Every structure is written in C-alpha cells, then in structure tokens.
Amino acid sequence: MERLIIEELLQWKSSPRRKPLILNGARQVGKTWILKHFGQTHYDNVAYINCDKESLAAKLFEDYDVKRIIQAIEAMTNTQIIAGKTLIIIDEIQEVPRGLHALKYFAENAPEQHIAVAGSLLGLLLHQGESFPVGKVNMLQMHPMTFLEFLKAIGEDKICEQLSHREWSVTNTVHDKIVQHLRMYLYVGGMPEAVQAYCDNVPLRDIRTIHNEILTAYINDLSKHAPKEQVVRITQVFRSIPAQIAKENKKFIFGLLKKGARAKEFELAIQWLMDAGLVHKVCQVSKPESPLTFYEESDAFKLFLLDCGLLGAMNMTDATEAMLTDNIFEEYNGALTEQLVLQELKCVPQLPVYYYTKPNSQQEIDFVIDINNRAVPVEAKAGENLQAKSLKQFILENKSEKAIKTSLMPYKSNEVIDNVPLYAVYCYLQGV
C-alpha cells in the first residue's frame, strides 16, 4: 500500500542536512513496513534489526564507537553497509539501552550513513529521562492512512490523481461515488491491517474484530508501560473519549470520568496518551488570530482518537450505516465527521490546529488553523445542510479573508467561504 510519507522520506534521503531519522507514531500505523519498503525501493540494500527479537541487540550500543556498531550491524544482518547505498533500520529501538542517544554519534562521526529508527511508544521515552540527541536527529510523524491513501489502496488511482491536483470540476462529477468510499473509510479507518483486510474482501464484522484487537493491544500497553499509579486514570481517559466527542459541546469534561474529577488528577494520564500517539489534543484559543500558538488555552481542549475506525469500534457503529446511508456522518452529534476532519488536518505537516469558542456565547468554531500567517476557521458539517451560522458570524466579526466549510456537498467556492467535501480536506490544504 502506498503511503504519502514516502515523499517526506525521499526528501530526507536527499537532504544536505540529513541526520539520523526517528520515525514516530502509534503502534500498528505501519512504521516498520514503510521503512522496509522505502529501503527496498530506494536503496541498494537494507540492514534491518528488530531489537525486540534480536538477542544480541542489547549489546549493540554498549559504547558509542560508531565504527564498531556498524561492523556489528553488518555481522548481525549479514549485509555489507555502504554509505548512501544502504539503509540501516533499527526497529523497536526503545528495547535497548542508550539506543536513541547513540544517534548523536552517528550524526557527528558518520554523517554519510543513512540510518532510520522506529519503535513503539518512543514519545514516552522522551519524557522518562531517556537521553535524547537534541539537534542531532530528524523526526517524522506517521499517522494512520488518510482517505487519499485509502482510495489508492482500493485501486481508485484516477480519483486520487484528480483529488491530488484539485480538479474540482472533474471530482464533482463522481462526487457520489467518492462519498460511498468515504462511508466505508469511516467504518474501516486508516489502520493498515484493517485497510488491507478490506482490500482482501474480508467481511466487515471481521474488520471490526481487527479494530478490537488493536484496541486491546493498546490497553495492554497501558498495563505494561504506564506508571502503575496512572494505569487506571489513563484507561478512564482513553475509554471516555467516544462519550466526550459525542456531546454537542465536545470540550473535554473531567466530570465524565468520575464524580468530582479534577484536571490535576488526570494531567499525566492525558500526556501519556498523547506521547503514545493514541490521542490528539486540540486546545482552545482565546483569540482567533495568527499566530494561534500565542493564544492557546491549554486548560480547555478536545480529545480525539488517532483513527475513525477505532472510534467506530469503541462506539460499536453498525456496518449497515456505513454501507447504505449517510447516517454514519451524523451519529453521535457528528462525532465521526469531526474525527475524520481532525485526522486529515493532522496529516498536513506543520499545521497548527485549534478550536475557538466566543466568550459568553454559543458561537463555536470546530477548528481554527494557521495558514500563511492568518487564522482560518474550519467548520465540519455532518450532512448536506450548508447552514453555518457560527461560521458566518465569525467571518463578520473577525473580518476573515478565508474560511472552510466541510460537508457532504461537492466543492464550491465563493469570495470567502470554500465549501470543501469531507473527502477532500487533506488535498485542499495541500494546495493552499
């Protein structure tokens, strides 16, 4: 399955400022597969080590002699390592002591080598005292598959090309067909194993089993890796997310976790889930002006899961809704729709994403993003109703030059508001 991150990996490979690469992302989003595929297709050979399975890996970084480390990797993989022609992949690097820190010495003493590392829960190590090679590595974040990648996987290459080039007059003619695929994407989601099963015509009930197995693996990670005193709280937060974003007001409410719950009790739990890549935290801004980071209010936020398929599994969304109707977009106060839009926004590199609520008012903007030094409001509409009173009021009050309204309607643009189909959010933003 083709992944968009390949383009970023190619840029890393050819960059004159290339450093050792850390590929971060939640478990089972496809990090190992993409690194191997990248190495096999863009290098002469690959030297791959899985530190969780290779018993000798524990001794790999006993010291920081890069020459010795490279010789050891050659012996362990039976691969001759040639600078620029061999991709060195160290997988599950969190399983070996000093592994991340060793990247500093690759950057300093062997910059000609192409080395990429990946692992589960790497984000956690950075907050647990692991020595991090600041300024000595490049980092990329990997997400579940976008809708564009889903379309590519199911063989809709032409539609992918048209969406990527934003040929709206063409995509509008096949709008209904794309919406049908989008329904299935909301059910299947972007976890590669689930997408592959769908491509292999596995029954939808069995795809839901895959979702549940992934969720179980995440819960097991909580028990294995989280601080014992935080496990219960982390689990409470994780399991509460479907109910949190099914509310009309999707601001995270600690009272839904337990009676009398306070933010201070659950700060570490939320941070753990963020570091593990399992949730996205979208903070409110006090003022919808660029740069949005200046106006962030960290105590008011929404939490989303990493994948709409997993959210549907937690909500026990019925497959019939995905196959036959558009109800899947509107259920749970449009929770899946907002989750979908957030996922697509998060896949756009270096795009700050927030939301805005006008003080003492019911006016709420689902998302506000920073594009070309201007704050752009984004409304996620679940159906074909294009009424967006909050958005129109926001535009008037803030003299917005551009606004985005996503819905199930085809693409249409006027002077200020661009009506962007839900299936085209990522592609649209790539051209802004």
Non-local (6+) Cβ contacts of 109 within 8 A are 66
* Structural contact between residues 184 and 178, judged by C-beta atoms closer than 8 angstroms: no
Structural domain ending residue among the three candidates 141, 172, 204: 141
Q: Tell me which residue has tokens 């000798």.
A: 56
Structural domain ending residue among the three candidates 141, 172, 202: 141
The DSSP bridge partners found for residue 115 are 88
* Structural contact between residues 192 and 37, judged by C-beta atoms closer than 8 angstroms: no
394 to each of 5, 111, 218, 338, how far by Cα in Å?
Answer: 35, 50, 39, 19
- On whether both 311 and 214 belong to a single domain, the answer is yes
pLDDT digits (tens, 9 = 90+) for 283-323: 999 999 999 999 999 999 999 999 999 999 999 887 776 67
- On whether both 412 and 382 belong to a single domain, the answer is yes
- On whether both 286 and 331 belong to a single domain, the answer is yes
- On whether both 107 and 179 belong to a single domain, the answer is no
The DSSP bridge partners found for residue 141 are 24
Q: Given this model, what pLDDT does residue 127 score?
A: 47
Dihedral of alpha carbons 302, 339, 7, 291, sign: negative
Q: Looking at residue 58, which CATH number applies to its domain?
A: 3.40.50.300
Domain containing 17 equals: 5-141
pLDDT digits (tens, 9 = 90+) for 110-166: 999 999 999 877 766 554 555 678 789 999 999 999 999 999 999 999 999 999 999
Give the Cβ contact number of residue 431 at 10 Å.
8
pLDDT digits (tens, 9 = 90+) for 11-66: 999 999 999 999 999 999 999 999 999 999 999 999 999 998 998 998 999 999 99
pTM of the model: 0.93
Closest CA to 168 of 410, 417, 341, 344: 410
Which pLDDT band, with edges at 50, 70 and 90, does 94 fall under? confident
Tokens (6 digits) for 314 = 């937690």
- The residue type at 172: N
- On whether both 162 and 98 belong to a single domain, the answer is no
- On whether both 106 and 180 belong to a single domain, the answer is no
Say if residue 392's pLDDT is above 60. yes
pLDDT digits (tens, 9 = 90+) for 339-373: 999 999 999 988 999 999 998 887 889 999 999 99
